Structure 1
Amino acid sequence: MNWITNFVRPKINSMLGRRDMPDNLWIKDPETGEMVFHKDLEQNQFVIPSSGYHMKITAKERLKAFLDDGAYSLLENPKVALDPLKFRDEKRYTDRLRDYKAKTGLEDAVVSATGSIEGLPIVVTVQDFSFMGGSLGMAAGEAIIKAFETAIEQKKPLVLFSASGGARMQEGILSLMQLARTTVGVDRLKEAGLPYIVVLTNPTTGGVTASYAMLGDIHIAEPGAVIGFAGARVIEQTIREKLPEGFQRSEYLMEHGMVDMVVSRLDMKATVSRLLKILLKEKATEEPLADILPPVPAVTEARAEA
């Protein structure tokens, strides 16, 4: 079989002028099973046109789509100790980091940059889920703090796109310390009077949800994103009850007041720009704030008595 696959088939294809079809030419919609041409998907910011399903994208793809003309200047991530605990599971932590760096082209799970949206200068921080599940370790924590410091120094608002499975277990307590350290960064940004908007993408869980991802002035979520602390299965096993349908999804959380808005990736740039200009007291748009934010549900008599 190897001889046929490796020699005979390529020889026949070359004689007939055939070319091999790339494996990623068509991408399957996880919800409907529909096959979508990858160029169409790329032009639509990796949102399935028919179903609206939001595919995961890399940090640099997000920066390119979100910022004006796709132009940005990357902030250099601070250097940290690579393996302070000398951790090893199936492989050494240093080997695992090296593999992910080669695979993604990133230094760690967080990428920060300066740029502008609709002419407004901002600092943007993006977590890349493809790097160890966007887990929060010392390098990621330092990169986030560096972004807050840059925003304060340059007097710019900060927009953070979260995507994470939580703290990085290979760094133990040193990873958990980043929850407190990044929270201090949020406080300093707010003391400087600068807006902080968080965009929650799929998934945002664990210690990231328990820290800077839920401390924004405004919380926006992409449609269908999983947002929470513990996983739904763990919660069900703990409380021994069946969770409601759509639990921990963006739409469910907005209905219950945990996020302010659910916004498509295609409308994210315009929405964030309007909100930032309102928060900065600049002339944003003819649309009042009430037209941007979703309506607040009316309080019924039964709820008022409760």
Structure 2
Amino acid sequence: MKDILEQLEARRAAARAGGGQRRIDAQHARGKLTARERIELLLDEGSFEEFDMFVAHRCTDFGMEDDRPAGDGVVTGWGTINGRMIYVFSQDFTVFGGSLSETHAQKICKIMDMAMQNGAPVIGLNDSGGARIQEGVASLAGYADVFQRNIMASGVVPQISVIMG
């Protein structure tokens, strides 16, 4: 059992590292925080609960099958601000430039759906190079899915988008 827990913690640590220390250092050199650092600063201390930490993209074209970082370039979950529940996503520029893939979009849509179901605000911390072109139409369809949720949530729950890049 101890081995399994150690393996799980190693996977969590790898997921928390995003695109790796070199890319984190590059992000800091540009004066920018990482996706996780932004969430830490935004939410009440210790309140963040992450969803889908181990989700990875499914693309097999252009050598992408050999590079499947956990989380797929977006950190999603819920937490509190001044004790009030919110849902949040933060795009991770250290992973493929924060580009939106099919699974990246699915993670965002999931928390937007949960926000609407629970009547809680959703905050998006956007830092992205755009669509993940290696996925072609699938990544573009992801934008349509996210925008559809924006329409569905309009007038239902507050939506805040912050452009970080």
- The TM-score with structure 2 as length reference comes to 0.76
- Aligned pair in 2 of structure 1 residues 139, 72: CA closer, same or farther (>3 Å)? same
State the Cα distance separating 1:187 from its structure 2 match. 1.1
The answer to whether 1:198 aligns with 2:157 is no
1:133 aligns to what? Answer: 97
% same residue = 30
- 2:37 corresponds in structure 1 to 61
Shift in Å at residue 71 of structure 1?
Answer: 2.3
2:133 to 160, 165, 169: 169
Match among 134, 144, 159 for residue 108 of structure 2 = 144
Match of 1:96 in 2: 67
- Please give the per-residue CA displacement for 1:97-126, whole angstroms capped at 9, x wherever unaligned: 2xxx2xxxx421111111111122111111
* Contact 1:77–1:146 under 8 Å retained in 2: no
Q: Deviations over 1:37-71 (max 9, x none)?
A: xxxxxxxxx7xxxxxx9722222211111111142
Q: Which has the higher contact order (CA 8 A, sep 6+)?
A: 2
Per the TM alignment, residue 154 of structure 1 is displaced from its structure 2 partner at its CA by: 1.4
Indicate conservation of the 8 Å contact 1:78/1:143, yes or no. Answer: no
C-alpha displacement of 1:138: 0.5
Find the structure with the greater CA-based Rg.
1
Q: What's the CA shift for 1:78?
A: 9.2
Q: CA deviation at 1:81?
A: 6.2
Seen in structure 2, the aligned counterparts of structure 1 residues 78 and 95 have a Cα distance that, compared at 3 Å, is: closer
Where structure 2 has 5 or more consecutive residues not aligned to the other structure, the ranges are: 1-21
Counterpart of 1:113? Answer: 77
Runs of 4+ displaced beyond 4 Å: 77-81
- Do the aligned partners of 1:78 and 1:142 also contact (CA within 8 Å) in 2? no
Could you tell me how far apart the structure 2 residues matched to 1:173 and 1:151 are? Answer: 27
Report the counterpart of residue 48 of structure 2 in structure 1.
Answer: 72
SS of aligned partner of 1:57? coil
Q: Please list the CA deviations of residues 183-226 of structure 1 after superposition, one character each: whole Å capped at 9, or x if unmatched.
A: 111111115x2100111101xxxxxxxxxxxxxxxxxxxxxxxx
2:56–2:71 Cα contact (<8 Å) kept:
no
Partner secondary structure for residue 67 of structure 2: helix
Partners of 1:69 and 1:79 lie apart in 2 by 25
Distance of 1:122 and 1:150 partners within structure 2: 10
> What count of residue pairs does the alignment treat as equivalent?
142
> Could you say what the CA RMSD is over the residues aligned between the two structures, in angstroms?
2.7
Alpha-carbon shift at residue 77 of structure 1 (Å): 6.2
Match of 1:123, SS state, is strand
2:131 is aligned with what amino acid?
A: A
Structure 1 residues 185 and 78: alpha-carbon distance in aligned structure 2, compared to 1, 3 A threshold: farther
Structure-1 separation of matches of 2:39 and 2:53:
16
Q: Which amino acid aligns with 2:43?
A: L
What TM-score, normalized to structure 1? 0.43
Q: Structure 1: 5+ residue runs without aligned partners?
A: 1-23, 28-45, 47-52, 203-306
